[in-house]
Amino acid sequence: MPKSKIERLNDEKQFHEAQAVKRQSEINFKASLTQNDQVYARHASWIEPGLKSLGDVSGKHVLDWGCGHGMASVYLAHCGATVYSTDLAYTYCQEAKLRSGANFADQNIKIFQGDACRLPLANESLDAVWGNAILHHIDAEVASIELHRILKPGGKIVLCDPWRGSILTKLIRSSVPYPGKARTSDETPLDESYIKSFRSHFENVNISFWDLLGAAERFVPLGPFRDPLRRIDRFLLDSFNVLAQSSRYIMITAEKSN
């Protein structure tokens, strides 16, 4: 029997609470709170380009949708935004709160725990939405409707998530061990149905693909080879659609019509 929405939400909450607690036990947590924004933005190939795709956020109201550890929230606050940070897991919200204070950004960050598809935000109250690795946990249609509701006319969303990829990508995900592989039973990499949902509610929906050769960093440190591989990836993914379909991540950017 399929899970109810409440059962699925509870499973997701329990998983991410445990994930957040485990994360804090495995790192020098206090020392890790101080953030270098440039290092954060470049830790994955799509983060910096995605954040820049939001445009100038100074003076804007921006949602960090599924904020997790809160690093994006701090980055956006340092760019001058008023940031609304939300996560399903209480422990992640607490980490985001501590990080915002440690980086002198707490005056510009408002943190609340809750369901990503039932946000306690007014209609058309936000200028932009940033989401990294959240959409694949939830229903695409429900998510697109909720984000459209809270976004002002002319507002923009940038969402980055795992892509279903090729048969080889699926094989690697299913059979090769790598850090951070654990996931819930309900989450699934994005497919065309997610894109279709956003195209039905938003204008100017654009798709880009990320991490082909660069996905090797999931298994081994790339060191000085990281940036050259990312440049090669960008050329290959922009030039050959068949390779793009084999990438590890996808970025969805979209605007709400005026």
Class of domain 5-255: alpha beta
251 backbone dihedrals φ, ψ, rounded to 5°: -120, 125
- In the numeric block, the tokens 């970025």 are attached to 251
pLDDT digits (tens, 9 = 90+) for 86-129: 999 999 999 999 999 999 999 999 999 999 999 999 999 999 99
Whole-number Å distance between alpha carbons of 94 and 157 = 25
DSSP code of 85?
A: E
Instruction: Tell me the whole-structure pTM to 2 decimals.
Output: 0.93
pLDDT digits (tens, 9 = 90+) for 206-230: 999 999 999 888 888 889 999 999 9
